Structure 1
Amino acid sequence: MHFVDVVVMTAYFIALIVVGIIGARRAKTSEDYIVAGRSLGFTMYLACLAAVILGGASTIGTARLGYEFGLSGFWLVAMLGLGILAIGLFLTKKISNLKVLTISEMLHDRFGAQTGLVSAVVAAIYAMMVSVTQVIGMGTILNVLLGWDLTLSMITGGGIVLFYTMLGGMWSVTMTDIVQFVVMTVGIFFIMLPMSLSKAGGWSSLEAGLPEAHFDFTSIGAGTIFQYFLLFCLGMVVAQDIWQRVFTAKTDKVARVGTIGAGLYSFAYALAVSVIGMCALIVVPNLGDTQTAFASMAIETLPAGILGFVLASVVSALMSTASGTLLASSTLIVNDIIKRQFMKEMNDKMFLFVSRVTTFMIGFITIIFALWIQDVLVALDVAYAVLSGAVFFPVIAGFFWKRATTRAAFYSITLSTIVILSGLAVKGITSTDPILYGLLTSAVVLVAVTYMTSEQKQNTSVIETDENRTGKII
């Protein structure tokens, strides 16, 4: 990188820290810290939701898939967008009307304390693992661009996110996300995409120089597309970081329209970054690590100054998701575990303090895990496998199946989580089978235990009625 690019990226990082500090001044209550006072209008809401959806896997991962498979690399982020559209079309009003802070709080209110606790643990692990993917992505970008050691790169990127998230919570995340949304939109759609196509020689050069399969939307394989549906579409519907953004909307209409808009934006982003990955295969055809496709293409294509801005846009995508999921994990732990189990009389001031301490601890653990795993798609698969397989059906049942029982939801989440983790250990973390087994276990246990416990209640009621009648006769 040219010295000018380093200055641009450094200035951007400093700006984020300053904006985060300003946001921290607005976080005066626990509701400010967790859901930005439930006060966001359409523009701010749309920008923040799109920013949290499109992170490390969306940019680095999709460019990598575009490099390897072509247009069908689109499906990873498309399934994220499909899940967001499903929320916008069917669930935003229900979610907004809950007036809770977490998805686990909803399950607690619907299915009892045990279900709330186990779902909080599962959802917190998911959110933290998504944060891990973003730190890996930041490390990869800074490693390629600045030539820094990968460990130092991850610590630097993760540390900046941890700093402003810990200080201001959702208000800091919201204010930095607006900046990040603008930067990533301009950087990807108006700079990187057209200049990548120009560097590769235009669309006709792609058609002439790439395998025919790269222009087939199904070349990645039906099995992989189905896996992405199970992982990302279903995962989005029950993701705490997404629900937490929905809670920030000022009105139901803002939540619904903004969520649909963010889903559509995701489709456009998926296609743009896939094409950038395809261009990279023409321009830098012999990459040893395809995870560096986006960064390598940027270095080959962009002039000094512009390069720094575009790479800041990629880091923006990473940081926005990292901050959102880091806050989501912290919120679940504080609101649904610490407060409910250990500090039931916690006042608002103490909630804020504990939230900041917990955010710091989760951020520290996130950076450690990122240094250990170092593969963005692997970490993402683990996160969504557990969330989609274990929590999806109980949440949907909580909204739409009144007969579902407390015991059924608890056993559904617990047993499906065990099945998924065991399956990932035996078959490998890239296998689709554990997710299917988990979903099947979750659905079967939920239905079977519901009918069993319903029958038990009915039988108990009959016995009690008979006893009452007998007593009256006597």
Structure 2
Amino acid sequence: MSSLDFIIIFIYFSVLVVIGIIGTIKAKTSEVYLLAGRNLGVFMVFGCLTAVFLGGSSTIGSAQLGYESGFSGVWFVFSMGLGITLFGLLLLKRVMGFNLMTISELLGKLFNVESKLVGAVISAIYALMVSVTQVIAIGALLSAIFNWDLILSMLIGGGVVFFYTILGGMWSVTMTDIIQFVIMTAGIFLIMLPNSLSAVGGFGELTSQLPSSYFDFSAIGFKEIIKYVLTFTLGMMVGQDIWQRFFTAKNLKTARTGGILVGIYSFLYSMAMVIIGMCALVILPNIQDTQNVFSSMAFETLPTGLLGIVFAAVAAAIMSTASGTLLASSTLIAKDILKDHFFKGITDRQFLLLSRGTTMIISIIAIIIALWIQELLVAIDVAYALLAGAIFIPIVFGLFWKRATAKAAFYSILVSSAVVLGGLAIEGLSSSNPILYGIAANIVVMILLSLTDKTNKGNREVREKMEASS
């Protein structure tokens, strides 16, 4: 990389730090700090939703899948975007009527404090582990670019992200997300994709160089597609980081439109990334570690200046996910655990300070875990599996079935969590079957306990009021 490329990346990081400092001034209430004042328009909601779920694994992983299997690699990212769109179309209207900040807060309103607490713990762990993987990813990227030690790279990359998140909360995260969304879009669609296709002689030449299976959307197999849908589509529908972005919208129509646009964009983005990976297979057919497909292709095809922009785009994808999931985890802990159980009756100013302090502590924990494991482990798969297997069913039953009870929700979460973890231990951490087992156990416990529990009329009344207002 040239001096110009380094300067571009340095300027990008400096802008993020400045936004964090400005965010300290802007975020004067807890609602602004956690939800950006609930006043964002369609483009802002769309950009923020896109930025938070398109992380390093989505970008680098899609290029890797394109290199290995072609078009069918789109299911990885598209299944995530599909989950966001389905949440906007199917659940959002009912959820927004509660004026929530967190997903576990909904469990508390529909059921009881025990369900709320266990939901907060599971959701917070999920968000924290996603943030950890992004710290590792940004560290690996900076280490490759600047030839720094990996630990130093994680400290600097993670430090910048957490700096602006701690200071400005959702206001800073929103501003940086929009910048990162624009950089991601320009870097991938306007620079990397055209240069990759040009390097192989165009799309027509690409089709003649690769086997027909690379242009088959089902080539990875039905089982793998189902795994993506179960893990990522359901996981996104009940992810705190996703809900928190929807809650920043100024109204339901704005939020729903943003969610629909995310589904469309996720397909286009994943197609762009897998095509880049396919082009890499033609130009660089002997890449040993396929996780390096994207970076190898960038170094091979991009001139000075453009290389810096594209690596800034990858950094943007990673950092936007890291900041969003960090804030999601700290919000769950600050509001649904600390405030509700240990700091009852505090003022909004005190809650703002508590939220900032919690975000700082979670940041430190995330960096420590990242430094400890130093590689992208399957912990993220476990987190998604728990989220989809344990939280999805109670939320859906609570919103759509009047007879669902608090006792049933609490025990269904506990039982399904145990089933998912047990299944992963027996069948392996990459298996999607434990999610199915968890969902099945969840449904059975929810129905059986709800039908035999006659003590929870209050929760039925809550749902009836919700339906009347929706």
TM-score relative to the length of structure 1 = 0.93
Aligned partners of 1:144 and 1:292 also within 8 Å: no
Secondary structure of the residue aligned to 2:135 is helix
Q: Counterpart in 2 of 1:217?
A: 217
Q: Counterpart in 2 of 1:467?
A: none
- Offset of 1:457 from its aligned partner? 7.5
Q: Does 2:341 correspond to 1:341?
A: yes
Q: Counterpart in 2 of 1:292?
A: 292
Once the two structures are superposed, residues 187-210 of structure 1 have per-residue CA deviations (whole angstroms, 9 ceiling, x without a partner) of 111111111111123223322333
Q: Distance in 2 between matches of 1:286 and 1:452?
A: 61
Aligned partners of 1:277 and 1:294 also within 8 Å: yes
Q: Counterpart in 2 of 1:10?
A: 10
- Offset of 1:284 from its aligned partner? 2.3
Once the two structures are superposed, residues 85-125 of structure 1 have per-residue CA deviations (whole angstroms, 9 ceiling, x without a partner) of 11221222222221111010010111000000000000001
Secondary structure of the residue aligned to 2:288 is coil
Report matched runs for 1:463-474 at 5 Å.
none
Q: Counterpart in 2 of 1:447?
A: 447
Q: Distance in 2 between matches of 1:155 and 1:329?
A: 20
- Offset of 1:77 from its aligned partner? 0.7
Once the two structures are superposed, residues 231-258 of structure 1 have per-residue CA deviations (whole angstroms, 9 ceiling, x without a partner) of 1111111110111011100111111111
Aligned partners of 2:405 and 2:456 also within 8 Å: no
Q: Distance in 2 between matches of 1:377 and 1:39?
A: 37
Q: Counterpart in 2 of 1:472?
A: none
Q: Counterpart in 2 of 1:324?
A: 324
Aligned partners of 1:140 and 1:292 also within 8 Å: no
- Note closer, same or farther for the CA distance 1:379–1:277 as it changes in structure 2 (3 Å cut): farther
Once the two structures are superposed, residues 360-415 of structure 1 have per-residue CA deviations (whole angstroms, 9 ceiling, x without a partner) of 22122222333344554734322211110110000111111111000000011111
- Offset of 1:23 from its aligned partner? 2.3
Secondary structure of the residue aligned to 1:25 is helix
- Note closer, same or farther for the CA distance 1:146–1:284 as it changes in structure 2 (3 Å cut): farther
Secondary structure of the residue aligned to 2:378 is helix
Which structure: larger Rg? Answer: 1
Aligned residues: 457
- Offset of 1:357 from its aligned partner? 1.6
- Note closer, same or farther for the CA distance 1:358–1:186 as it changes in structure 2 (3 Å cut): same
- Offset of 1:54 from its aligned partner? 1.2
Aligned partners of 1:95 and 1:243 also within 8 Å: no
Percent identical residues: 56
Cα RMSD after superposing both structures: 1.6
TM superposition outliers: structure 1 runs of 4+ over 6 Å: none
User: Mind listing any 5+ residue stretches in structure 2 that lack a counterpart?
Assistant: 458-470
Q: Distance in 2 between matches of 1:219 and 1:369?
A: 36
Aligned partners of 2:406 and 2:456 also within 8 Å: no
Secondary structure of the residue aligned to 1:323 is helix
Q: Counterpart in 1 of 2:205?
A: 205
User: Mind listing any 5+ residue stretches in structure 1 that lack a counterpart?
Assistant: 459-474
Q: What amino acid maps onto 2:411 in structure 1?
A: Y
Q: Counterpart in 2 of 1:364?
A: 364
Aligned partners of 2:71 and 2:274 also within 8 Å: yes
Secondary structure of the residue aligned to 2:263 is helix
Q: What amino acid maps onto 2:204 in structure 1?
A: S
Q: Counterpart in 2 of 1:142?
A: 142
Q: What amino acid maps onto 1:380 in structure 2?
A: I
Q: Counterpart in 2 of 1:84?
A: 84
Q: Distance in 2 between matches of 1:290 and 1:357?
A: 40
- Offset of 1:438 from its aligned partner? 1.2
Aligned partners of 2:173 and 2:324 also within 8 Å: yes
Q: Distance in 2 between matches of 1:137 and 1:17?
A: 19
Q: What amino acid maps onto 1:441 in structure 2?
A: A
- Note closer, same or farther for the CA distance 1:139–1:67 as it changes in structure 2 (3 Å cut): farther
Secondary structure of the residue aligned to 2:453 is helix
Q: Distance in 2 between matches of 1:176 and 1:13?
A: 10
Q: What amino acid maps onto 1:29 in structure 2?
A: T
Q: Does 2:192 correspond to 1:196?
A: no
Aligned partners of 2:35 and 2:247 also within 8 Å: yes
- Note closer, same or farther for the CA distance 1:65–1:368 as it changes in structure 2 (3 Å cut): farther
- Note closer, same or farther for the CA distance 1:97–1:377 as it changes in structure 2 (3 Å cut): farther
Q: Counterpart in 2 of 1:259?
A: 259
Once the two structures are superposed, residues 34-92 of structure 1 have per-residue CA deviations (whole angstroms, 9 ceiling, x without a partner) of 10111111221211111112112210111111111111110011101111111221222
Q: Distance in 1 between matches of 2:200 and 2:375?
A: 27
Q: Distance in 1 between matches of 2:330 and 2:413?
A: 20
Q: Counterpart in 2 of 1:280?
A: 280
Once the two structures are superposed, residues 251-310 of structure 1 have per-residue CA deviations (whole angstroms, 9 ceiling, x without a partner) of 111111111112211111111111111112222222232112111111111111110011
- Note closer, same or farther for the CA distance 1:376–1:205 as it changes in structure 2 (3 Å cut): farther
Q: What amino acid maps onto 2:35 in structure 1?
A: V
- Note closer, same or farther for the CA distance 1:288–1:374 as it changes in structure 2 (3 Å cut): farther
